[in-house]
Structure 1
Amino acid sequence: MGHRLSKIYTRTGDAGTTGLGDGKRVSKDSLRIHALGEVDETNAIVGLLLCEDLPEDVRTLLTDVQHDLFDLGGEVCIPGMSMITDRQVTHLENELDRFNEPLEPLKDFILPGGTRAAALAHHARTVCRRAERSLVALALEEAVNDGPRQYLNRLSDLLFVLGRVLNRAGGRGDVLWQKRKNA
C-alpha cells in the first residue's frame, strides 16, 4: 500500500462538504457524516480505555474492536459497501457471554463508576449507543446494512459488561443505584 495521506489538509472541505469513500461529496452535517463521526468517537473512547491498566484478554478484545470499528466506519463511508460480517457480531456475542458468565446476576441498576477503567468503559458504552442511534436515523433515509447496527448494539452491551469486569478486576464491586436515595 502506498502513501495515502501525504498531505493532511486539502481545503476541499472549506465550503462545508466532505468526500465519501466512493468520491461523492456530501454536506458535513449529513446523517451519514454524523453516523461516521459517532463511530469514530466510539473508536476514540475505546482507545482512551486502552490507555488504562487492563487485563490482557480485555486489552486484546478491545484492540480487535478498534479494528472492527475502523471497518465499520469504512462501511458507513462507502455507501453499498459491506465490511461487517455476521462472524464479527457473533464474536462479540461469544465474548459477551464469556465475560458475563462469572459475574453475579444483576438485581439492581448500576451506576457508571467505580474504577477509572470501568467508568471509561461505561462512557464508551454511551458513545457507542449514540453511534447506534445515528445509524438507525441514517437507515430511515438511506440504505444501510444490518451488520453495523447489530455490531454496535452488541458492542454497547459488551462495554457494559466490561465495566463490571473492570470494577471486579480493580477490587471494586458494582456501584449500585439506590432508588430515591436523596428524596
Structure 2
Amino acid sequence: MVKLNKIYTRTGDSGTTGLVDGSRVGKQDARMEAIGSVDEANCAIGLAVLALEGGHRASLLRVQNDLFDLGADLATPLGTLGEDFTPSPMTLRIIPEQVAWLEQAIDAINENLAPLTSFILPGGTEAGARVHIARASVRRAERACVALAAEVPVNPQALAYINRLSDYLFVLGRAVNDDGAADVLWVPGASRQG
C-alpha cells in the first residue's frame, strides 16, 4: 500500500528523480518523458470521465488504474540478472490480460458503430471531444514509450497496451457521439471550395 506522509522530499532539486529499483535518472530522461506522458494522458482521461456515465465511465476508471500500472512498469527498469518482464510481488507489470480486456472492449463497442466512410474531426459532442483529447494524449504517450523502447528494454505488453488504448478511445469517442451519428466528418479541401 502506498503511504505518502510528505509530498516534497527535496531529492529532485538536483534535476534527478528516483525509479522503483532505487536508481536515479535525470528528469529529462526518455524514461521520465514516457512516464510523464502517460500521467498526462491519464489526466486527460480523467476529464473525459466527468462527461460520461454508466459502463463507459466505469471502463475509463479501470483504464486510469491500468495507466498507474503502466507508469509503475515504466519506472521499473530491467536489472542485469537476466530478468524478463514477468510481474512479481515486488514488480508491477502490464500483463496480457490487460491488453486483451482492451481488445474485447474495442470489439464490443465497434459492433454498434457504422463503418467509417471518412476520417472524423475530433468533437461532435462535449463528451466525444473530451475522449478525443484523451486519445490524442495517449498517442503522444505511445510515441514517448516507443522512443524509450528504442533506448532500453520496455515490456512489450506495455507497448501493446498503450497502442490499443488509443484505438479504444477512438471507438469510444464515436460511441459517445450517438454511436457515430454525431461524428463530424472530414471534408478534404473544404476550405478551398469556396
- TM-score tier (shorter): over 0.9
- Residue 86 of structure 2: aligned partner: none
- Residue 109 of structure 2: aligned partner: 99
What pairs up with 1:18-167 in 2 under 5 angstroms? 18-52=17-51, 54-80=52-78, 81=91, 83-167=93-177
- Residue 85 of structure 2: aligned partner: none
Divergent runs of 4+, >2 A: none
Query: Any idea what SS the aligned residue of 2:17 has?
Result: strand
Q: 1:41 is matched by which residue type in structure 2?
A: E
Query: Any idea what SS the aligned residue of 1:104 has?
Result: coil
**Residue deviations 1:10-37 (CA, integer Å, cap 9, x gap):** 1111111111111111100000000000
Contact 1:115 1:172 in 2 (8 A): no
Query: Any idea what SS the aligned residue of 1:182 has?
Result: helix
Deviation at 1:60, TM superposition (A): 1.1
Deviation at 1:82, TM superposition (A): 5.2
Q: 1:73 is matched by which residue type in structure 2?
A: G
Q: What is the aligned-residue identity percentage?
A: 52
Query: Any idea what SS the aligned residue of 2:25 has?
Result: strand
Unaligned runs of 5+ in 2: 79-90
Deviation at 1:55, TM superposition (A): 3.6
Normalising by structure 2, what TM-score?
Answer: 0.89
Normalising by structure 1, what TM-score?
Answer: 0.94
Number of residue pairs the alignment of both structures matches: 180
Unaligned runs of 5+ in 1: none
Distance 1:82 1:143, change over 3 A: farther
Deviation at 1:128, TM superposition (A): 0.4
Q: 1:64 is matched by which residue type in structure 2?
A: R
Q: 1:174 is matched by which residue type in structure 2?
A: D
Partners of 2:129 and 2:111 in 1: CA distance = 21
Instruction: Report the aligned-residue RMSD.
Output: 1.4
State which of 159, 170, 188 in structure 2 corresponds to 1:179: 188
Query: Any idea what SS the aligned residue of 1:18 has?
Result: strand
**Residue deviations 1:72-96 (CA, integer Å, cap 9, x gap):** 1000011135511111101100000
Deviation at 1:4, TM superposition (A): 2.2
